[in-house]
Structure formats: C-alpha cells, structure tokens
C-alpha cells in the first residue's frame, strides 16, 4: 500500500491526485511543517532533506520529489491512463509538462 506524507502548501497535491485517479489504496499522513515535524528524526529518516512530499510503498520503498512520484504512479498503473504509453512520443510532452 502507498503512504503519502503531505503538508498544505507543499507539492503533495499532484501525487495525491495521481493516487486518487489511479484508484489504488493509499493512506495520507499529515506532516505539520509549522510545528517542525519535517525536521524530526522520524521524518528525516524518510527524507534527509526534510522536504514534503514523501511516498512510501509497503513500508519499505521510499521516494521523494513530486514529479518523480507522479511518474512512478503513472508507470505502475498504466490502466489508469495518467500518462501516454512508454512507446508513445506524447510521453515526452507528459514529462515536459510534469517538470514545468
């Protein structure tokens, strides 16, 4: 299962939307950056840079960076149609706009 660590005002909305659109099971964990939760050792163990969002999969695999998280979700769930197919040249535009 996916777990998305998010915070208001962070770049976590796009990965959240991708999880929702993919129709997969996920949990949300609020990171209260105003209270400094992103600087606590437990969170820094997930992301030493202390940035939000973080995505974990099955409690073992962890990744950061909103665009990369979106790409991973799109790749793992191609039936959701979040991105053009890997052999489709339009995939380049998907990457372009995701990085914009």
pLDDT above 90 (res 15): yes
Distance separating alpha carbons of residues 1 and 76, to the nearest angstrom: 12
Strand pairing class (2-6; 26-30): parallel
Q: Is 10 a catalytic residue?
A: yes
pLDDT in tens, 37-87: 999 999 999 999 999 999 999 989 999 999 999 999 999 999 999 999 999
Strand pairing class (26-30; 61-64): unpaired
Which residue out of 7, 10, 12, 66 is catalytically annotated?
10
CA terminus-to-terminus distance, the chain: 29
pLDDT at position 84: 97
Give the global pTM. Answer: 0.93
pLDDT above 90 (res 100): no
């Amino acid at each position: 299962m996916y777990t998305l660590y998010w915070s208001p005002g962070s770049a976590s909305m796009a990965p959240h939307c991708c999880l929702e659109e993919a129709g997969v099971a996920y949990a949300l964990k609020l990171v209260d950056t105003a209270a400094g939760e992103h600087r606590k050792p437990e969170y820094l163990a997930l992301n030493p840079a202390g940035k939000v969002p973080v995505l974990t999969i099955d409690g073992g695999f962890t990744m950061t960076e909103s665009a990369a998280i979106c790409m991973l979700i799109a790749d793992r769930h191609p039936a959701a149609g979040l991105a053009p197919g890997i052999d489709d040249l339009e995939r380049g535009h998907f990457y372009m706009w995701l990085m914009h």
